[in-house]
Amino acid sequence: MSKPKHERSLAETEAQAVTRNIRVSPRKLNLAAGLIRGRAASDAVAVLTFSKRRISDTVKKTLESAIANAENNHSLDVDKLVVARVEVGRSIVMKRFQARGRGKAARVEKWFSHLKIVVAEQQPAPVAEEAA
């Protein structure tokens, strides 16, 4: 008596990796994710390797996991992979307080994020023949 098998939500030419509860705000994570949207997978890894943003290492690790999932679990060609989607979502918010003057307190919110990267195998573009 097990649960029925969950239908696969991705196409046959797609693979994904998800990282949850990353200790960075979704706004900052979305800036790093915007660097790789729509790029070839190998190009996206190179961009994240040399990015100065602190969170780019975590994004790179998730991207490499998605590439490995595509290669090992779905038998996709690594050289044809492109970053199809990068989704950044909100997670929990830790609420802390900081002491202020005259016995008051200020609220400090520490945001967490979720990251989902979907890579897809790109179909080769049709080659247009030149008219001679």
- Output 126 or 55, whichever has higher pLDDT: 55
The three-class DSSP label of residue 36 is coil
Q: How confident is the model at residue 123 (pLDDT cuts 50, 70, 90)?
A: confident
The answer to whether residue 126 is domain-embedded is no
b/e map 74-109, b = 16+ CB within 10 Å:
bebeeebbbbbebebeeeeeeeeeeeeeeeeeeeee
Can you give the residue range of the structural domain that contains 23? 14-121
* CATH code for position 22: 3.90.470.10
**Contact criterion met (CB below 8 Å) for 97 and 105:** yes
What pTM does this model have? 0.87
The answer to whether residue 80 is domain-embedded is yes
Mean pLDDT on 13-31: 97
pLDDT tens digits, residue range 27-52? 999 999 999 999 999 999 999 999 99
Element containing residue 47 per DSSP (H, E): helix 41-49
Domain count across the chain: 1
The answer to whether residue 51 is domain-embedded is yes
Compute the C-alpha angle 48/109/107, nearest 5°: 150
The answer to whether residue 106 is domain-embedded is yes
The answer to whether residue 129 is domain-embedded is no
